[in-house]
């Protein structure tokens, strides 16, 4: 069974479309259709039911899918070992872009035994990638409750980002009520629904509904527009830990809305990543001084980063 056929099968299975699978594989549709036909002939089973409107996997495809993911991953690991990275296991990390400046520089040095490959993805994309076995660790802003395969890193406070030269730029704090009439740069909700909802909740708490002057796909785009003077933005605390040209970050005392940051792994944490992520995050937290609120307060059923560290040392408190 050729790995090429399995790659085509996984793409069709996940996309539920030969056309979308071809785009993902950077090829034309006929080779994808032929690969699936060859695989079905080799197995003697039909893998997909095709109609004019849909491509649906059969029960045989449901059985083959996790095995195909495993074989493709083992092939990738074999290539890494042959290249000379003996003793280093590949680990695929996906993270929201806000985690890159502060958290990842603390996390990656904690992974000397792994060979990390890092991509930036939105939270929703990370959930799908993790479920499909395309990533081993997701650092995201969505939560599934309850689950032993994830931890709370922080429930971050929100900050107000204003351009240099704004009347508030020299202040340390601001009130959201005072910017109710400002133009606001906001996430596109389909890209970052949790962050969008946290910002919407903060605005509602201040007595107004945000009227965005622009919807963006990333924090970098958001801060770029703030720097250009297009408007102000409400951002998560971790984003204000590193300087951004032309932007000032102000605290928002009295705002109770929070932006959650979570770490999630494959079922059972097969690589033992959660305690490592917990240590790295606490190190970054101490060095940079943020997220002081106890994210687990009133949520005792939600495992925190400290719990993961204690569990690794055999000292976790009884539930």
The domain tally of the chain equals: 3
**Greater model confidence, 36 or 240:** 36
- Asked whether the beta carbons of 230 and 156 are under 8 A apart, the reply is no
Same domain as 64, residue 41: yes
Same domain as 166, residue 120: no
The verdict on residue 18 lying in a domain is yes
Same domain as 275, residue 211: no
The verdict on residue 319 lying in a domain is no
Give the range of the structural domain holding residue 75, as residue numbers without chain letter: 3-82
Q: Which of residues 82, 106, 122 is at a domain's end? A: 82
Give pLDDT tens digits for 108-147. 888 877 888 888 887 777 887 887 778 889 998 876 666 7
What is the pTM assigned to this prediction? 0.62
Same domain as 209, residue 274: no
Q: Which of residues 49, 66, 82 is at a domain's end? A: 82
Give pLDDT tens digits for 191-213. 777 788 888 888 898 898 877 88
Same domain as 144, residue 20: no
């Amino acid at each position: 069974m050729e790995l090429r056929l399995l790659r085509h099968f996984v793409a069709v299975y996940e996309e539920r479309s030969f056309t979308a699978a071809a785009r993902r594989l950077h090829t034309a549709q006929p080779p994808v259709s032929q690969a699936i036909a060859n695989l079905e002939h080799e197995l003697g089973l039909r893998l997909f039911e095709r109609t004019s409107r849909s491509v649906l996997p059969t029960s045989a495809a449901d059985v083959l899918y996790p095995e195909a993911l495993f074989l493709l991953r083992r092939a990738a690991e074999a290539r890494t070992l042959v290249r000379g990275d003996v003793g280093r296991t590949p680990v695929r990390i996906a993270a929201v872009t806000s985690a890159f400046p502060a958290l990842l520089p603390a996390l990656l040095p904690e992974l000397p035994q792994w060979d990390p490959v890092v991509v930036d993805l939105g939270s929703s994309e990370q959930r799908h990638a993790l479920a499909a076995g395309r990533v081993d660790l997701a650092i995201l802003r969505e939560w599934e409750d309850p689950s032993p395969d994830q931890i709370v890193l922080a429930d971050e406070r929100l900050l107000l980002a204003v351009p240099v030269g704004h009347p508030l730029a020299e202040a340390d704090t601001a009130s959201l009520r005072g910017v109710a009439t400002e133009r606001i740069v906001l996430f596109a909700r389909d890209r970052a629904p949790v962050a969008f909802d946290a910002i919407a909740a903060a605005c509602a708490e201040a007595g107004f509904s945000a009227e965005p002057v622009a919807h963006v796909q990333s924090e970098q785009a958001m801060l770029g527009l703030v720097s250009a003077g297009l408007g102000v933005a409400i951002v998560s605390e971790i984003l204000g830990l590193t300087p951004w040209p032309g932007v000032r970050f102000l605290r928002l005392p009295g705002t109770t809305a929070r932006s959650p940051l979570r770490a999630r792994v494959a079922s059972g944490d097969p690589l033992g990543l959660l305690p490592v992520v917990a240590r790295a995050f606490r190190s970054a937290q101490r060095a940079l001084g943020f997220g002081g609120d106890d994210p687990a307060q009133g949520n005792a059923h939600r495992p925190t980063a400290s719990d993961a560290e204690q569990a690794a040392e055999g000292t976790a408190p009884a539930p």
